[in-house]
Amino acid sequence: MNPTESTRRSFLKTSAAGVAAGSLAMQAQKAQAADANSKLRIGFVGVGGRGFGAHVKSLSKIAKEGANIELVAVCDVYDANRNRAADYIEKENGGKVARYVDFRDMYAKENLDAVSIGTPDHWHAIQAIEAMKGDMHVYCEKPMVKQVEEAIELVKVWKDSGKVMQVGVQGTSLPVWDAAREKVDEGMLGKVLMYQTEYFRNSDIGQWRYYKLSKDMSPKTIDWKRFLGVEEGLAEDQPFDRAVFAQWRRFWEFGSGMFTDLFVHRTTQMMKATGLRYPARVTGSGGLYLEYDGREVPDVATVVAEFNEGAQGLVTATMAASETPVQQLIRGHFGSIVFDDPAFDQFSFVPERPQVTHISPTELPYEKQVIRPEKRAPKDQTKAHFENWIKAIEDNTPETCNNTPDLGAAAIVLVNLGARSYREGKIYHFDDKKMAISEADGSWSKQWEKRSKERGSASHVAGWKAGDKGSTIQNPDYQSLEGPWIDGKDPAA
326-370 per-position pLDDT tens digit: 999 999 999 999 999 999 999 999 999 999 999 887 777 778 999
pLDDT of residue 10: 58
For residue 301, the cross-strand partners are: 286, 317
pLDDT tens sequence across 118-147? 999 999 999 999 999 999 999 999 999 999
Q: For the chain, how are helix, strand and coil distributed in percent, rounded to 5?
A: 40, 20, 40
Give 19's contacts (C-beta < 8 A, 6+ positions apart).
129, 130, 133, 134
The answer to whether the CB of 373 falls within 8 A of the CB of 351 is no
Task: Tell me how far apart the terminal alpha carbons of the chain are, to the nearest angstrom.
Answer: 60
pTM for this prediction: 0.92
**How many other β-carbons are positioned within 10 Å of the β-carbon of residue 334?**
21
pLDDT tens sequence across 195-212? 999 999 999 999 999 999
Q: How far is CA 224 from CA 3, 12, 109, 119, 145, in A?
A: 20, 21, 23, 14, 21
Give 116's contacts (C-beta < 8 A, 6+ positions apart).
42, 43, 44, 45, 51, 55, 56, 59, 139
The alpha carbon of residue 207 and the mean position of all alpha carbons in its chain are separated, in whole angstroms, by: 20
pLDDT tens sequence across 253-271? 999 999 999 999 999 999 9
d(CA 122, CA 99): 22
Q: Could you give the domains of the chain?
A: 3-163 (3.40.50.720), 174-203+257-381+398-493 (3.30.360.10)
Q: Whose CA is closest to 93, among 71, 67, 124?
A: 71
The answer to whether the CB of 257 falls within 8 A of the CB of 297 is yes
pLDDT of residue 367: 86
Give buried/exposed letters for 71-88 (b at 16+ CB in 10 A, else e): bbbbbbbbbebbebbbeb
